[in-house]
């Protein structure tokens, strides 16, 4: 056992006390550096390391344990110093990201926020051309045979559709009035049965409200009463007034001649625009696809989403897909054929597959026939008196 004199004991106690104070100071500094958002600079760390080494050398040269602790603390500080430029760079990256976000287009400018007109025009320009239209898709098997059978069925007693009666062409009127007559009649026909539309148009004609000048001067309530009970008659009365005003101010009482201008009118969608363009101007730029054409083309397997075998989800998708392979000479007739076929045989809820002459070729035959409910009505028990 080593015996120390009084001076050596005092020196050892001073050394231990200074080492403990030094460690406590370092712990407080590390805690403050972690809680603070400011990082240490290289210059301050160098000064602190120099002062710490001087105080350490002045306090004791023989305390190997305290020196090892000091060296470990220096290593930690040096690591923190090395991480300092990374933190600065990361802040620059964040600032740079904010600057880049300022250059990105706003959400309202993104394609998903464009109007229906612009999106439709883009799809139309991509699929067809007003001057020359070519079909490039592969036609489905047996489509000609199925179409011929549908043509025979629609010409028989089972399904009779008169295109002139459905479209209300107004052939008894002068050309300019006839075109406006076609536009108003087609606008009212949406979501409405043919005989209801015909009666509403006839009431407008008898009251002298089939010209843009007369409709513009008439009250909206009067138009609403005359076209009732067509579907959405309140909204259609408003749209009829707006359309008449636009035709007077922009087209001198006539109707638009281009597909894009027709689509800009209130209440006019792709089907109405193509139908009016064909009947009023004798200009065929696309197929008129309504709910019957959309449903039947998917049932027959004539259309699908691009690159898949999935059914099309909207009449517009059906129109684009159908125009890829159907010859243009069939574009006008296909609407009338499938509308009549859909009204009498290939109905939405209970398709009459048993009387359909193409049930052997149709991939959907007898698959959508509703199954009778197995639930039986419970007999009513007579209450005992």
Q: Which residues form the catalytic set?
A: 271
256 and 245 Cβ atoms separated by less than 8 Å: no
Distance CA 268, CA 281 (A): 16
The Cα–Cα gap between 154 and 353 comes to 15
Query: Which helix (DSSP H) or strand (DSSP E) does residue 197 occupy?
Result: helix 194-206
3-state secondary structure (DSSP) of residue 129: coil
DSSP assignments along 261-300, one per residue: HHHTSTT--HHHHHHHHHHHH----S----HHHHHHHHHT
Q: How far apart are CA 375 and CA 97, in angstroms?
A: 64
Among 368, 288, 279, 269, CA closest to 334: 288
- CB contact set of 234 (below 8 Å; sequence gap of 6+): 224
Asked if 188 and 230 count as a contact pair (C-beta separation under 8 A), the reply is yes
Q: With beta carbons less than 8 A apart as the criterion, state whether 334 and 326 touch.
A: yes
The C-alpha atoms of residue 291 and residue 348 are separated, in whole angstroms, by 9
Between helices 175-189 and 270-281, what is the axis angle to 10°?
160
Task: Specify whether the CB–CB gap between 219 and 244 falls below 8 A.
Answer: no
Distance, in Å, from the CA atom of 188 to the CA atom of 231, rounded to the nearest integer, reads 8
Angle of helix 270-281 relative to helix 315-323, nearest 10 degrees, comes to 50
Q: Is 254 helix (H, G, I), strand (E, B) or coil?
A: coil
Nearest alpha carbon to residue 186 among 260, 286, 255, 117: 255
Find out whether the peptide bond into 229 is cis, omega within 30 degrees of 0: yes
């Amino acid at each position: 056992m080593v015996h120390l004199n009084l001076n050596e004991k005092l020196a050892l106690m001073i050394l231990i006390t200074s080492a403990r104070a030094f460690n406590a100071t370092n712990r407080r500094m590390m805690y403050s550096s972690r809680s603070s958002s400011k990082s240490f600079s290289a210059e301050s760390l160098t000064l602190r390391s120099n002062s710490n080494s001087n105080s350490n050398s002045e306090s004791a040269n023989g305390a190997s344990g305290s020196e090892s602790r000091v060296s470990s603390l220096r290593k930690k500080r040096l690591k923190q110093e090395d991480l300092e430029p990374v933190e600065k760079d990361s802040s620059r990256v964040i600032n740079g990201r904010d600057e880049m976000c300022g250059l990105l287009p706003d959400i309202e400018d993104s394609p998903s926020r464009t109007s229906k007109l612009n999106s439709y025009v883009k799809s139309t320009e991509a699929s067809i051309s007003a001057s020359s239209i070519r079909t490039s898709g592969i036609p489905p098997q047996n489509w000609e045979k199925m179409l011929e059978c549908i043509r025979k069925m629609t010409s028989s007693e089972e399904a009779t559709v008169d295109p002139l009666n459905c479209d209300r062409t107004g052939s008894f009127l002068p050309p300019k009035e006839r075109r406006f007559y076609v536009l108003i009649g087609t606008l009212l026909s949406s979501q409405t049965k043919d005989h209801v539309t015909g009666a509403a148009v006839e009431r407008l004609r008898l009251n002298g409200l089939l010209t843009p000048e007369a409709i513009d001067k008439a009250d909206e309530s009067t138009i609403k009463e005359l076209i009732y009970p067509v579907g959405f008659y309140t909204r259609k009365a408003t749209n009829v007034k707006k359309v008449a005003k636009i035709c007077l101010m922009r087209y001198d009482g006539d109707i638009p001649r281009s597909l894009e201008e027709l689509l800009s009118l209130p209440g006019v969608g792709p089907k109405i625009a193509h139908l009016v363009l064909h009947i009023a101007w004798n200009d065929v730029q696309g197929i008129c696809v309504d709910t019957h054409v959309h449903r039947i083309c998917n049932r027959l397997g004539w259309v699908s989403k691009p690159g898949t075998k999935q059914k099309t989800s909207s009449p517009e998708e059906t129109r684009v897909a159908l125009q890829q392979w159907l010859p243009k000479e069939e574009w006008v007739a296909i609407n009338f054929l499938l509308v009549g076929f859909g009204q009498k045989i290939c109905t939405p809820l209970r398709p009459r597959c048993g009387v359909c002459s193409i049930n052997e070729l149709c991939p959907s035959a007898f698959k959508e026939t509703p199954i009778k409910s197995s639930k039986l009505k419970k007999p009513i028990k007579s209450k005992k008196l």
